[in-house]
Structure 1
Amino acid sequence: MRSSNRHIERHRTERIGWLRAAVLGANDGIVSTASLVVGVAAAGASHGSILLTGVAGLVAGAMSMAAGEYVSVHSQADTEDADLSRERAELEANPLAEQRELAAIYVDRGLEPALARQVAEQLMAHDAIGAHGRDELGISEAHVARPVQAAFASCASFAAGALLPMAVAAAAPATQVIPWTAGMSLAFLALLGGVAARAGGASVLAGAWRVFFWGALAMAITAGVGRLFGTVV
Structure 2
Amino acid sequence: MRRHREKHRINRTGWLRAAVLGANDGILSTASLVVGVGASGADRHAILIAGVAGLVAGAFSMAAGEYVSVSSQADLEAADLAQEHAELADDPHGEEAELAAIHHARGLTWETARQVARELTAHDPLAAHARDELGITDSGAARPVQAAVASAASFSVGAAVPVALAIVSSHALVLPVVTIGVLVTLCILGAVSAAAGGASQVRGALRVLLWGALAMAATALIGHLAGTTV
Q: Same fold (TM over 0.5)?
A: yes
TM-score range, shorter chain: over 0.9
User: What is the aligned partner in structure 1 of residue 208 from structure 2?
Assistant: 211
User: Scaled by the length of structure 2, what TM-score is found?
Assistant: 0.94
Deviations 1:139-178 (A, max 9, x none): 1233221111111111011111111111111112211211
Shift of 1:203: 2.5
Paired position in structure 2 for 1:62: 59
Which stretch shows the higher mean deviation, 55-64 or 190-199? 190-199
The aligned counterpart of 2:91 is: 94
Give the CA deviation at 1:19. Answer: 2.3
Indicate yes or no: 2:167 matched with 1:170.
yes
Q: Which of 186, 198, 202 is residue 201 of structure 1 equivalent to?
A: 198
1:6: how far off?
7.5
The number of aligned residues is 230
Describe how 1:41-190 pairs up with structure 2 within 5 A: 41-190=38-187
Asked if 2 retains the 8 angstrom alpha-carbon contact of 1:103 and 1:120, the reply is yes
Superposition TM-score, scaled by structure 1 size: 0.93
Question: Shift of the alpha carbon at 1:219?
Answer: 0.5
Counterpart secondary structure, 1:141: coil
**Residue pair 1:38, 1:178 contacting (<8 A) in 2 also:** yes
Q: CA deviation at 1:23?
A: 1.4
Distance 1:8 1:161, change over 3 A: same
CA distance in 2, matches of 1:89, 1:70: 28
1:229 equivalent in structure 2: 226
Say if 1:133 and 1:140, in contact at 8 Å, map to a contact too: yes
Which runs of 5 or more residues in structure 1 are unaligned? none
Question: Does the Cα contact within 8 Å between 1:165 and 1:185 map onto a contact in 2?
Answer: yes
Q: Which amino acid in 1 is paired with 2:147?
A: A
Give me the whole-angstrom Cα distance separating, in 1, the residues matched to 2:77 and 2:4. Answer: 30
- Aligned-residue offset at 1:11: 4.0
What is the rounded CA distance, in whole Å, between the counterparts of 2:213 and 2:140 in structure 1? Answer: 32
Q: Distance in 2 between matches of 1:141 and 1:206?
A: 34
User: How far is the alpha carbon of 1:196 from its aligned partner?
Assistant: 1.6
Pair 1:39 & 2:45 matched: no
